Amino acid sequence: MNVAVLAGGVGGARFLRALTETADPAGVTAIVNVGDDLDIAGLHVAPDLDTVLYTLAGLSDEERGWGRAGETWNALDTLRELGGDGWFALGDRDLGLHLARTQALRVGEPLSAITARLAAAAGLELSLLPATDDRLRTWLETASGAFEFQEWFVRRRHADAVGGVRFEGADQAGPAPGVLAALDEADLIAIAPSNPYVSIWPILSVAPIRAAIENRRVPCVAVSPLIGGRAVKGPAAEMLDRLAGGTTPAHVASTYAGLIDVLVVDPADDPADAPVRTVVTPTLLDEPDARRRVAAAVLDVARGPVPA
Ligand code: FO1
């Protein structure tokens, strides 16, 4: 079965691990958020692509949710001692990946081609694609001003309540090679349990990607990122509360209006009033059996009735 997955953040990476443990990874294409990429200390960092790569390669720090296990921080310590820009923590092992990517970008290789090479070198069997090769940056509007994603998320510890999101570069951004083909050839389109506003909306801000999903001929299923109205990690619940008016499955579904046929929700959430069909199953992706159940629930949707 061919599955195209929109993903970002740690929820996206863990969902992709669940799916590739359950379905043939060769049929899975991950279309990943690049709105929280940043250029720092001369390097191009793509946190969501890297979280997927590290998680699927078994290299990730499970506790932290980002970066590599067994990491050391010597380069960062030196950078900070010398007065460099050290607010964004790049570990010694992680730095090797950013060096390889930045070097290749400098000589003109597109991000999608670099990502494919890095994913193959890490032994990944799925297709790992950035949503776009073009510059796309998520900005958060807050009462203290507008901030680029990592400024808001890491430097300001996502303490400023968000009044709105926008995606710089979206007007000019095209889908990366392979993205539209993956959506066109999919038997199922899935949206990972990622933050809708800062992980999935940046992908959907690339107009041809959104149009491809709106015009789909196959089911599209999203997995809610909330359990009992709370996020497993990160600011999704606070953002839904402020921007959608609540944290029920109906509010989650409203962020994907016109794009999804099914929402997978945890038994701790009340699916009443959800504007789409809901499938209720425990959604915590913490251990292998639980992961497999969530992936199976999603894959089952492809076997259900085709949407009108
Ligand atoms: N998150 C933090 O909270 N603090 C950091 O210093 C930090 C560094 C970092 C470096 C590389 C990387 O791939 C991810 C990193 N993250 C860090 C996580 C990242 O900010 C977010 O988890 C994602 O962008 C949200 O999807």
- pLDDT of amino acid 308: 46
Instruction: Assess whether the C-beta atom of 90 lies below 6 angstroms from ligand 1.
Output: yes
Q: What residues are paired with 167 via a beta bridge?
A: 138
- pLDDT of amino acid 305: 58
Per-residue pLDDT of the chain (308 residues; tens, 9 = 90+): 999 999 999 999 999 999 999 999 999 999 999 999 999 999 999 999 999 999 999 999 999 999 999 999 999 999 999 998 899 999 999 999 999 999 999 999 999 999 999 999 999 999 999 999 999 999 999 999 999 999 999 999 999 999 999 999 999 999 999 999 999 999 999 999 999 999 999 999 999 999 999 999 999 999 999 999 999 989 999 999 999 999 999 999 999 999 999 999 999 999 988 999 999 999 999 888 999 999 999 999 888 655 54
What is the rounded CA–CA span in Å between residue 272 and residue 41? 48
What is the rounded CA–CA span in Å between residue 167 and residue 205? 7
Please tell me what DSSP assigns to residue 16: H
Instruction: Assess whether the C-beta atom of 50 lies below 6 angstroms from ligand 1.
Output: yes
What is the rounded CA–CA span in Å between residue 148 and residue 139? 4
Nearest CA to ligand 1 atom 8: 89
What is the rounded CA–CA span in Å between residue 157 and residue 161? 11
CB contact at 8 A, 271 and 231: no
Say how many residues make up the chain. 308
Instruction: Assess whether the C-beta atom of 37 lies below 6 angstroms from ligand 1.
Output: no
What is the rounded CA–CA span in Å between residue 291 and residue 18? 5
CATH homologous superfamily of 3-156+163-302: CofD-like domains (3.40.50.10680)
What is the rounded CA–CA span in Å between residue 302 and residue 1? 9
pTM score = 0.97
Domain assignments of the chain as residue spans, ordered by start: 3-156+163-302
What is the rounded CA–CA span in Å between residue 88 and residue 79? 11
Q: Tokens for 13, please give them.
A: 């990476």
Instruction: Assess whether the C-beta atom of 200 lies below 6 angstroms from ligand 1.
Output: no
48 CA: nearest ligand 1 atom: 26
Ligand 1 centre to CA of 37 (Å) is 10
- pLDDT of amino acid 302: 86
Nearest CA to ligand 1 atom 4: 154
Chain centroid to Cα 67, Å, comes to 15
What is the rounded CA–CA span in Å between residue 71 and residue 284? 26
